Amino acid sequence: MKLDELTKEFIKLYGQSGEEIFTFFAPGRVNLIGEHTDYNNGYVLPCAISFGTYLLARKNNGNTLRLSTSNFEYSADISLAELSNKHEEQWVNYPLGVIQQFYKRGKAIGGLDLYFSGNIPAGAGLSSSASIELVTAVALNELYECGFDMPELIDLSREAEHEFIGVQCGIMDQFIVGKGRRDAALFLNCATRKFVHVPFAKGKYRLLIADTKKIRKLSDSKYNERVAECQQGLRIIQKTRHISSLGELSLETFHEIEHIIEDPVIRKRLKHVVSENRRVLDAVKALMNNKFEEFGKLMNLSHDSLRDDYEVTGFELDTMVEISRKQQGVLGSRMTGAGFGGCTVSLVESDSIENFIKNVEAEYLDKTGLKPEFYLPEIVGGAGKVSSS
């Protein structure tokens, strides 16, 4: 939907008023490598994508928060006195959680008319939640002149997900949605917040996202269970090593001491985290030196580790990856996001994309009964104000 059409829909929903309508956008993200390392204070390498969330926002000079979206029929009129109440419609809780974080920081948010429109498939693992959180945070910051910088908006958005949604996510999703740069991936140390933008302009190779149509919700998945397993493993390691997170543990040191972890499941979880951290470092070097074949191999190794050691893939993701890797012009393919469903990302020669989509769609449908969707994203910048209407 074009911006002028969104504006017309906004006025149809909320009517005309003397207040100005502002438009904001926050991208989604695809993680190229570095999965389930962020909440272990490790390394990640995501990029912001052109699929994201638009938000049209206007003060309504009342005591009501009015929320609607082009994506679902459900809308809500919520008294400012009742913002702490969760709603059955999950999408509403993301902006509510962000607004609560503004209140916690002493910022008085008044009545608002909010109209969201996103083209990130829900439950696909492309971070629609962080996109909604950041677009809300940027809008509130602008409309009420709160003066928060982007790192503060990133932090409060993550805290909204922790405290209101109940998902103990790391910082990666909110960080890339807020700090993305056009034609670049973001190499982030989740412990220190230090980051470097790594060039990734489209050329001979493109990123191709495939939605398996296996939907999952993080709050209903084993995501938090994986977080707890890593914390359990960390406590065991801390008996022999002075570390505060698994992100500090080198692959060599892990191999020296892995025998002290008696539980084979916990040992496998830690093996993935530590080896994935190394793969991110190797992947950054490969991209910096235009070694795309090496980068593709690391993508494959990442998925195999997520499948075998972290056990967060599943039949649909594994089937999609297996089919994708067989196609001509594919250098690598892996699941992206938290797993348990959602999307894969593949590195594909530009000239092979049309055949890739045709072949993968047919075989995947035959094997799973699900019709996948494919996305060829642009790599874009982070959340911000688009225009005023």
The DSSP secondary structure of 342-356, one letter per residue, reads SEEEEEEEGGGHHHH
Active-site hit among 38, 113, 155, 173: 173
The DSSP secondary structure of 1-70, one letter per residue, reads --HHHHHHHHHHHH---SSPPEEEEEEEEEEEE--S-GGGT-EEEEEEEEEEEEEEEEE-SSSEEEEEES
- Strand segments, DSSP code E, in 136-290 are 184-189, 195-199, 205-211
- Residues facing 207 on adjacent strands: 347
User: Count of residues for the chain?
Assistant: 389
* Spatial distance between the Cα atoms of 86 and 89, rounded to a whole number of angstroms: 9
* Spatial distance between the Cα atoms of 17 and 59, rounded to a whole number of angstroms: 9
Pairing state between β 343-349 and 205-211: antiparallel
Q: Which sign, positive or negative, has the C-alpha torsion 242, 244, 250, 253?
A: positive
How many C-beta atoms surround the C-beta of residue 322 within 10 A?
Answer: 14
Verify whether residue 173 is a known catalytic residue: yes
Helix, strand, coil % over all residues of the chain, rounded to 5: 45, 25, 30
Give me the active site residues, please: 173
